[in-house]
Structure formats: structure tokens, C-alpha cells
């Protein structure tokens, strides 16, 4: 199975400052069709998960442009350009290239 390793697991941030989460895969996430099926999800406290980013760098509808995704192959990054209070929660990376689908452990983002 593909193992996704996120870092850090806890990320205290100052409002208005940038934040970055890394996700490393145990194998390449490039599918045979050429796409890389790598997503980022946000789970606010008490809420269902919400997809933020699909196929590495594409923002879902309604996602603020302060969120951006980048990376390739086995190394991926989620960046928040200026953290706002509503960004508090747990962020998960996920790969949809290989069965079984797998998630990272989650990174808890909190305000300092």
C-alpha cells in the first residue's frame, strides 16, 4: 500500500502569517494515464472533511486562493499564504492513483 507521511503533525501559526504542510509518498503517484491523483482535504472541528485541492494543484470551487498545492512524483506541499481563523482544523493529504486509496496521518493547524 502507498504510505503518505505528513509533516509537521502539529502546526501552530500566527494569524496573517504563511503556513506550509508537506506530504511525502512511498511511491510515485503518477498514474498510467499521466495524471497525478493527489488531493488535500480540510476538516474543521466538528465538520465533515472538505476537499480543497485535487490533482496536486487545482483548487476546488469556493476554496480561497490563499490555498495552493504543488509538487510532483512523491513530494507534495500545501501552502496557506496568510492564515485566517477559519483555517483552524486538520489537513489530510490523500492519493487516488493506486488501490487502496490512502490518506496521510493529518496535520493539526492551530492559532498561536
Partner 1 sequence: EVQLLESGGDLVQVGGSLRLSCAASGFTFSDLDMSWARQAPGKGLEWVSTVGRSGVGTNYADSVQGRFTISRDNSKNMVYLQMSGLRAEDTAVYYCATQRWLDVWGKGTTVTVSS
Pick between residue 17 and residue 58 the one whose CB is nearest to partner 1: 58
Closer to partner 1 by CB, 87 or 95: give it.
95
For the CB of residue 26, give the shortest distance to partner 1 in the complex, in Å: 16
> Binding residues for partner 1, per CB under 8 A?
1, 37, 39, 41, 43, 48-51, 54, 60, 90, 92, 94, 96, 99-106
Vertex 39 angle, CA 57 and 17, to 5°: 65
d(CA 64, CA 45) in angstroms, rounded, equals 19
Of 53 and 80, the one with the shorter C-beta distance to partner 1 is: 53
Phi-psi sector, 74: left (phi>0), alpha (psi -120 to 50), beta: alpha
Amino acid at each position: 500500500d502507498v504510505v503518505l507521511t505528513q509533516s509537521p503533525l502539529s502546526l501552530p501559526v500566527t494569524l496573517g502569517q504563511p503556513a506550509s504542510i508537506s506530504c511525502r509518498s512511498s511511491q510515485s503517484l503518477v498514474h498510467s494515464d499521466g495524471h497525478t491523483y493527489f488531493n488535500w482535504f480540510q476538516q474543521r472541528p466538528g465538520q465533515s472533511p472538505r476537499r480543497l485541492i485535487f490533482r496536486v494543484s487545482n483548487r476546488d470551487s469556493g476554496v480561497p486562493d490563499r490555498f495552493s498545492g504543488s509538487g510532483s512524483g512523491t513530494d507534495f506541499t500545501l501552502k496557506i499564504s496568510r492564515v485566517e481563523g477559519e483555517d483552524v482544523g486538520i489537513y489530510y493529504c490523500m492519493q487516488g492513483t493506486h488501490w487502496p486509496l490512502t490518506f496521510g496521518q493529518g496535520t493539526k493547524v492551530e492559532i498561536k
